[in-house]
Amino acid sequence: MNLKKTIGYKVVATWLESQGFKPFSFQQEAWQAIHENKSGLVNAPTGFGKTFSIFLGAVIQFINEHPDKYLQKKKNGLQLIWITPLRALGKDLGRAMEEAIAGLGLQWQVGIRNGDTTTNERQKQKRIAPEVLIITPESLHLLLAQKEYPSYFEKTRIIAVDEWHELLGTKRGVQIELAISRLAGIKKTHPLQLWGISATIGNLDEAAEVLLFPVFRFTEGRYSLVRANLDKKIEIESILPDEIEKYPWAGHLGIKLVDKILPIIEKSQTTLIFINTRGMSERWYQALLQAAPELAGAIALHHGSIEQALRIWVEEALHQAKLKAVICTSSLDLGVDFRPVETVIQVGSPKGVARFLQRAGRSGHTPGAISKIYFLPTHSLELIEAAALKQAIKEQTIESREPMLLCYDVLVQFLGTLAISEGFQRDSTYHEIKNTFCFQSLSLEEFDEVVQFLTQGGVALQQYDDYKKVELTDGVYRMTNRRLMMRHRLHIGTIVSDAMLNVKFISGGYIGMIEEWFISRLNPGDSFTLAGRQLELVRIKDMTVLVRKSTSGKSIVPSWNGGRLPLSAKLGKVLRRKFQESAALIHKEIKPSQTDIEIKVLEPLFALQQQLSIVPKENELLIEQIETKDGFHLFVYPFEGRLVHEAMAAILAYRIGKITPITFSFAMNDYGFELLSDQPIPVDDTNVYELFSDENLVLDIQRSVNASEMAKRKFRDIAVIGGLVFQGMPGEHKKARHLQSSASLLFNVFAEYDPDNVLIRQAYAEVFEQQMEETRLRDMLERIQQSDIVITFPKRLTPFCFPIKVDSFRENMSSEQLEQRVKRMQEQLNQAASGKKKK
Q: Is the Cβ of residue 339 or residue 491 nearer to other proteins in the bound state?
A: 491
Q: Is the Cβ of residue 197 or residue 760 nearer to other proteins in the bound state?
A: 760
369, 739, 813, 832: which one contacts other proteins (CB under 8 A)?
Answer: 739
Task: Judge residue 229's burial from the number of C-beta atoms within 10 Å of its C-beta, 0-12 exposed, 13-18 middle, 19 or more buried.
Answer: exposed
Q: Is the Cβ of residue 54 or residue 419 nearer to other proteins in the bound state?
A: 419
Q: Is the Cβ of residue 753 or residue 793 nearer to other proteins in the bound state?
A: 753
481, 687, 814, 831: which one contacts other proteins (CB under 8 A)?
Answer: 481
Stretch that binds other proteins, among 59-67, 452-460, 536-544, 597-605 (CB under 8 A): 452-460
Stretch that binds other proteins, among 117-125, 136-144, 749-757, 798-806 (CB under 8 A): 749-757
746, 767, 777, 806: which one contacts other proteins (CB under 8 A)?
Answer: 746
Binding mask 486-515 for other proteins (x = CB under 8 A): -x----------------------------
Stretch that binds other proteins, among 49-57, 176-184, 483-491, 775-783 (CB under 8 A): 483-491
Rg (CA), the chain: 28
Q: Total binding residues for other proteins by CB under 8 A? A: 41
Report which of 765, 665, 666 is spatially closest to residue 714, judged by C-alpha positions.
765
What secondary structure does DSSP assign to 748-784, as a single string? HHHHHH-TT-HHHHHHHHHIIIIIS-HHHHHHHHHHH
Strand-pair category, 673-677 with 631-637 = antiparallel
| SS3 assignment, position 820 | helix
CB of 456 to other proteins, least distance (A): 8
Residue 129 to residue 151: CA distance in whole angstroms: 11
Residue 155 to residue 177: CA distance in whole angstroms: 20
The tally of CA atoms less than 13 A away on the side-chain side of residue 773 is: 18
- Beta-bridge partner residues of 196: 41, 161
Burial 531-542 (b: 16+ CB within 10 A, else e): bbbbbbbeebee
The Cα-based distances of 175 to 152, 191, 438 in angstroms read 19, 20, 10
Q: Is the Cβ of residue 377 or residue 457 nearer to other proteins in the bound state?
A: 457
Residues from 755 through 814 that contact other proteins (CB under 8 A): 808, 811-812
- Beta-bridge partner residues of 185: none
Longest CA span, the chain: 94
Binding mask 461-480 for other proteins (x = CB under 8 A): -xxxxxxxx-----------
Q: Is the Cβ of residue 456 or residue 830 nearer to other proteins in the bound state?
A: 456
CB of 383 to other proteins, least distance (A): 29
**Under rule CB under 8 A, residue 543 binds other proteins:** no
Stretch that binds other proteins, among 54-62, 210-218, 353-361, 456-464 (CB under 8 A): 456-464
Q: Is the Cβ of residue 148 or residue 465 nearer to other proteins in the bound state?
A: 465
Residue 454 to residue 488: CA distance in whole angstroms: 12
698, 749, 813, 832: which one contacts other proteins (CB under 8 A)?
Answer: 749
Type of residue at 58 = A
Binding mask 639-678 for other proteins (x = CB under 8 A): ------------------------xxxx---------x-x
Q: Is the Cβ of residue 11 or residue 412 nearer to other proteins in the bound state?
A: 412
290, 742, 775, 785: which one contacts other proteins (CB under 8 A)?
Answer: 742
Binding mask 708-727 for other proteins (x = CB under 8 A): ---------------xx---
The Cα-based distances of 151 to 74, 188, 798 in angstroms read 18, 12, 68
5, 127, 738, 839: which one contacts other proteins (CB under 8 A)?
Answer: 738
Report which of 705, 653, 703 is spatially closest to residue 683, judged by C-alpha positions.
653
CB of 659 to other proteins, least distance (A): 18
Residues near 436 by beta carbon (within 8 Å), at least 6 away in sequence? 174, 177, 178, 180, 181, 213, 214
Catalog residues that contact other proteins under the rule CB under 8 A.
453, 456-458, 460, 462-469, 481, 483-484, 487, 663-666, 676, 678, 723-724, 736-739, 741-742, 745-746, 749-750, 752-754, 808, 811-812
